[in-house]
Amino acid sequence: MNTTTPDEHPSAIVKVDTSNFSEEVLKPAEPVIAIFSFDGCGHCAIIAPLLEEIATELAGKVKIVKVSDTENPELAKQYGIYGFPMLALFKGGEVNDIFLGAAPPNIETKLRSWISKTVQTPKMNTTPEYPTAIVEGDVSAFPEEGLKSAEAVIVHFWGNRCPPFELIEPILEQVATELAGKVKVIKLNIGENRDFATQYGVDGFPMLAMFKGGEVAGIYDGGSLGSWISHAMA
């Protein structure tokens, strides 16, 4: 018995796993938005119809795929996924921007705005032509006088059980290179710098914090990473 109703159509969102991730996400010339989610994720279910609608509208301009962390935990681990739903925009096989979270009621406006801006923006050169512009080390890399300088400082906190968030590293590398002299990006292991983390109230990781004039000017807690950096630096 055929139970398919007349208005049912195949999904415009491609389901990918470890076997076809490279072919479907990394190799295409067109932009690809990968949705990382897991079974039972309430926020993921909330935005699913919206993403289906957007995938249909933008067919031929951008591909939208979904990756189940439940079925492919190794992919989430490989890319350092720590929150769901997580959307990553790939261009030319590289991560161009990310969008974290789904908080109604303005999620549609935020998500459409992010997709519109990121898909139309030329691919960033995420392969540094120079040694990495991100400083890695302990708090000696940015003493108090450094935090209080005119230069903004983005600190990427991470821990031994939660490696640096690999999806954002190319983006931060680009920021550190393009905005040299205006912003410094530092990667800090909380386990090796516990006192510093406690001093600034860091109780979870990975975490991004923007310091300006010695004070925390912003904490990244979701949405477009590119927009957060621009807003925090304003």
Q: Which residues form the catalytic set?
A: 41, 44
Torsion angles phi and psi, residue 210, rounded to 5: -100, 125
Q: What burial class does residue 166 get, using C-beta atoms within 10 Å of its C-beta: 0-12 exposed, 13-18 middle, 19+ buried?
A: middle
Residue 197: both structure tokens together: 């983390």
What is the bridge-based pairing of β-strands 86-91 and 94-100?
antiparallel
In contact, 167 and 225? CB cutoff 8 Å? no
3-state secondary structure of 162: strand
Distance of CA 52 to the CA centre of its chain: 20
Closest CA to 106 of 153, 50, 152: 50
Tokens of residue 92, six digits? 């030319």
- One-letter amino acid at 121 equals T
**Closest CA relative to residue 54, chosen from 82, 89, 19:** 89
Report the C-alpha gap between 21 and 1 in whole angstroms. 34
